[in-house]
Structure 1
């Protein structure tokens, strides 16, 4: 199984405050890894550090075998690392279709798996909204658009930060179904979530983060069966 993304001893700061302490993660091609933890545990900081949005103070990040520890965000994106932030960051004054076309590019090695017609097929809810300004979409519709926009770049790895947070149950179910279909189709996904139940039918593997440290690793079934770890680090 080919490893696509790895961190070794990853540490990151906001100003003088250290948030991540020696994070070690490994994501193999075609797998979905859930990074689970409570609010404030370090999930979003980990995703930002991987995407190059914040700098890495210590440690190493490799992607496809290349050292990207100090590579800027746009270089990581060109290499095939797509990041969907927690706050979605759609272009509010542009239409849904324009948001997608802005992001369209050929992926690494000439990948063109995701085109506009395929996006309409995979995201039927967006078809009827294609002419609507993205700023007029609901939170759930914006989340779907943000994921679709990331796919338009034909990435090798998809980083999703809290995709279910604050959304209605029916929208969460729709996003969950979409991520299962992506995983079944061979997509490689790192999913940061505090909702373990959302991840159960999506992720193959799990890592638990607490206070900036990885405190547990397992496959998703093993984590689900480990009541002590769930109580200690994931119970709300």
Structure 2
């Protein structure tokens, strides 16, 4: 049987002498929207940093389309097809929306460039209406959309979205959810880290639950929806 498209196997991550992730196993198939769910501090962001090369595993495997990524510098992991949207957005505030997109433009790992500014503005019409506005003057939700759009300009094979709903007004969270469903419908492979389970129930296809740095549950999103024990034990606030 072929390995999953994005495959993490038996990965341990340390910050100094402190172990944060313990034998992480994670599998995302091409075209899936996988929700990595867990409470604050469970290890979601560290898992993303591990995949993106910002917190390399001390042991274990990280691979994309059969290509090993563990131990590579983060810029090479990005070139291999990992697009990382961090939780703190990190737009270039003194540059326009259009400039933020231009600076991130590159071909994908196989030379493809499906995502360009024209396509971005079709999928993100709100950004098209403010392309000459400084990114620092956008609202939090608009900056979140810009960060996702900027990452797509790199034509990644997998999009890592770290807490995209955090700190946003409910109406903006709904808009972000609709955007993710649009990307899913376009075949984009998405790994989504969230502690907002209800947000994920409407947009993800599969779920993996992490607790105290360990994977404790894997299922389809429908199976999670009906598993009250898992929801209460690991996801209730």
| Same fold per superposition (TM over 0.5) | yes
For residues 21 and 192 of structure 1, the distance between their equivalents in structure 2, rounded to whole angstroms, comes to 18
Report the secondary structure of 1:153's partner residue. coil
Structure 1 position 22, deviation (Å): 0.5
Equivalents in 2 of 1:154, 1:57: separation in Å?
29
Distance change in 2, residues 1:55/1:2 (3 Å) = closer
Distance 2:148 2:117 in 1: 13
Cα RMSD (Å) of the superposition?
1.1
How much does 1:202 deviate?
1.2
**Residue deviations 1:92-119, cap 9 Å, x none?**
1111100000001111212111110111
User: d(CA) in 1 for partners of 2:227 and 2:144?
Assistant: 31
In the TM superposition, structure 1's runs of 4+ consecutive aligned residues that sit over 4 Å from their partners are none
The Cα shift of 1:3 comes to 2.5
Distance 1:62 1:109 in 2: 16
Counterparts of 1:91 and 1:176, CA distance in 2: 24
Corresponding residue for 2:22?
21
Distance in 1 (CA, whole Å) between partners of 2:19 and 2:10 is 13
Q: Which residue of 2 aligns with 1:64?
A: 65
TM-score (norm 1): 0.98
> What is the match of residue 82 of structure 2?
81
Deviation track 1:61-93 (CA, whole Å, cap 9, x = no partner) reads: 111101111111100111111000010111111
Q: Deviations over 1:9-31 (max 9, x none)?
A: 11111121111000000011011
Aligned to 1:12: 13
In the alignment, the residues of structure 2 paired with residue 136 and residue 11 of structure 1 have an alpha-carbon distance, to the nearest angstrom, of 40
Structure 1: tracts of 5 or more residues without a match: none
Task: Show the counterpart of 2:106.
Answer: 105
Partner residue, 1:124: 125
CA distance in 1, matches of 2:191, 2:178: 16
**Residue in structure 2 matched with residue 194 of structure 1 by the alignment:** 195
Q: Does 1:50 align with 2:46?
A: no
Once the two structures are TM-superposed, the CA of residue 2 in structure 1 deviates from its matched residue by 7.3
Return closer, same or farther for 1:216/1:14 CA change in 2, 3 Å cut-off: same
Paired with 2:68 and 2:187, the residues of 1 have a C-alpha distance of 24
Query: Could you list the runs of 5+ residues in structure 2 that have no partner in the other structure?
Result: none
2-structure distance, mates of 1:14, 1:153: 29
